[in-house]
Every structure is written in structure tokens, then in C-alpha cells.
A and B are shown apart, each in its own frame.
Chain A
Amino acid sequence: MISVKNLYHSYNKDGKYQVKDVSFEVANGEVFGFLGPSGAGKSTALNILTGLLPLQQGEVVVGGYDLKKVSNERFNKIGMSFEQSNVYSKLTAKENLDFYRKLFDVPTLDSHALLKLVGLEGKEHVKAGEFSKGMKHRLTFARSMINNPEMWFLDEPTTGLDPSIAADIKDIIKEKNKEGVTVFLTTHNMFIADELCDRVAFIVDGEIKLIDSPKNLKLQYGDKLVEVEYMEKGEVIKTTLSTVLPEDKRELQKIIEHHDIQTMHTKEATLEEIFIKVTGRGLV
């Protein structure tokens, strides 16, 4: 479990806060997403939770460890995948993982198995410096699982990856979550958040604007629309109708009864549209 109360952080300690009065809780086994544009304070908050940045103000408990009391033991329980790949370029993929295995006090996963899991099978003995950006990212991602973490922190886990690799990464995250791993991820990709997260927090200018599940957000902020394509006098007509307004409902019924329907989709608002609606800001 992660518990954060009234968290503040200022890099220059000059009263200008990059994280302001942030409070939230993440339950065990939950996938929680921190969503916001670049510079919103996502990574700052993440780095405080992992211990990369010192806790200046507020109360933070991660996996039962109060961050005010420094304990290296807690790192046995957490894993972190960085947005920027950070592996030893002069060591091979396997040497990289083997080295990190020796730094933990808990049973670790086999390096070969991890490399296979992230699609780097056969690249065990290739120096990481010779890897492509995507391969380095997968190696960094594999390393974050090495200690079988209970709390898994993922900083922009799919940013810059091609769609097939991103899909693999998402599958692994889902699989780990099914095994009971608590996931805290930051992203500015709302599709990733929508697909993976049980709950999301919108963060802008260091402040949390809203926390809820993607489903609730869509129900609350999305317009209930249906998009219909039908044939009329040999032509394809496309129209969007509300499922709430009485006249639109009647129109929809008439189209279904008297025309040949080509396609019909309910049109939910995307998380990105909701984000813009709630925060008044875009995600880039």
C-alpha cells in the first residue's frame, strides 16, 4: 500500500513547489496512474515515493515503510523502471541483470528468464551499448522486475516504444498485476492509462486535480453519443446522436426501423478529452 499525505517538494527550496499538497492512497494490488503533461510533477512525486528524492514535507508510507525513517531494506520490495534507459553500456544484457541480482537480499529472478520475458532472448551476450533505444528500454524494464517487487514503479513505461513492444510491456504489467503486484505508473499517454489503470490521478502544475477510475470519469464527464452510418437513396449517411435527448432517441429509432445500418458505435469521451475538460490543459 502507498499512502501520501500533504506532499510538497521544492527543488530549490525557495517556496516554488513542483509538487503541492498532494495526497492519495494506492491499495495493494491496484494499478494507479499519475497522468499529466510534461513538467506537471509526475516524476518528482514518483522519485519521492521511490526514495530517489528526499522527502521534504508531508507523510509518505510505501509498502509499510515510512519514508521519514530511512531504510535500505525497503528497496527489496520495490522495483522501478526509468523513463530514460539506464543500463551499463559496457556490460552485456545478462551481465547487467546478474550484477543487480547480487545487490538484493531477497530471491531474484533468473536473468535468462527475464530477458526472454521482454523479448531479448538471444541477446544475452550482446553489450547493452550496442542495443537500440527500444532494447535498452526493455532491459531497464526487465531489471525493474529482478527482485520480484511488491510495489512496482513505472515511469512512462511505453514512451518511445514501437506499438508491438508497447503491447508486450502492457501485457507484462497486466500479468504482474494479476499476480498481486501493486503498480504505480506515470504517463502522459491516456490510452495506456485507460487500458491499464484501476484509478488515475490528473496532475497539473504539481497539484492533483482529480482522482477516479477511468470508467467513472467517462460516465461523469463523457457525453453519451452514438455514431451511426446508414444507407439512404444509395448514399452512405453518417450522423451522431445523443442517447439521452428524446428527439435524438426517436431519430435513432427511425433510422434503425427504416434504413440499412452500415455501422453503429457508442462514442465515449476519451480520457484525454476528459483531462482537457477537467484541467483546461492539454497533455503535451
Chain B
Amino acid sequence: MIGRSERMCSAACLELMHAEMVSYFLSARETRESAQKEMERLGFRVGQKLAERYTKDYGRITEPMEVLRFIFSDFWPVVFSKPPDSLTTNNNSLYYIEDTDFRWTSKISVTSRTTLEDASYFLTFPCGIVKGAFAALDVDADVKADFQETPSRCLFTIIFKGKAIPTR
């Protein structure tokens, strides 16, 4: 498993820091769109660096399908603390990764004051991370995420651009 020998710190630190980052961008930027764009860009850079580090002893992954498999089974469990639940597709360019207990958002409580829409800003940075990881492995993909009723159930949609995934 990648990153196993690395040193660890508490997940609470990362969760709280991420929450501070989200509130920093939402208050420092004039529009929510620009806040989201920048958080995604930051996540992208982090994801790129992580994927580069994690694949350095891995041999070269070239096939988009291998990259997807790498992200699903190796990258995700390390970065998001647990393996995702399922990987599905509806056609050649749309793939779905479902995580029913997504640790980066699972502690958010949705109340009358915090809506699911507010909580969705917490998905922007993680989407950027995944997108950056694909980019580091030469796959141009767009990544979106939505909550499935609660902030702990997340569905990530991977849209491949450019290089199409060959059907097998």
C-alpha cells in the first residue's frame, strides 16, 4: 500500500484546517464561484504533488483505465482515510466513485442554518485533489462531487476529457 511508511498526524487537524480554509475563501472572495475556483486550484496542486510522490516507486502507469484503478484502490484510501465503496460507469467517459462515509465531510451536521448547499463547499478542495492526481498521471479529467442526502455520502463524478477510456 502506498504511503504506508510515512509519518502520521491526527485526521482532526486536517479536517479543522480544511474547514478554516473553506471559511477563509468564502469570506475573502467576492463571489462563491471564485472561492470555489481557487479552492479547486489549490486542491489540484496538492493532488498533483501527492500522486507524483505516491507513484514514484510504482512503475509507469499509462493506460487511463490503470490510472482510474490506481486512484480508486491506492490513492483514495490513503488521502481520504478509507477505501471508497464503489466504482461504476454509465458509458465510456463517465465514471462514478461512491464513498458512503467520506471522512472530509462526514462530521458536518446539516441544520436549518447549515444547508447541504453550504456543506458542498467542503467538496471543492477534495475534487481538486482527485483532478490533480489524474493530471499528474497524464489523464485530463474533470471531477465533480455531490452529496447523496447526507454530508457523509458522496458521489464523485469523473468525466474524462481528451484521451477516451477504451472499452474492454
Bound pair (A, B): no
Where the two chains meet, the residues of A that have a C-beta atom closer than 8 Å to any C-beta of B are: none
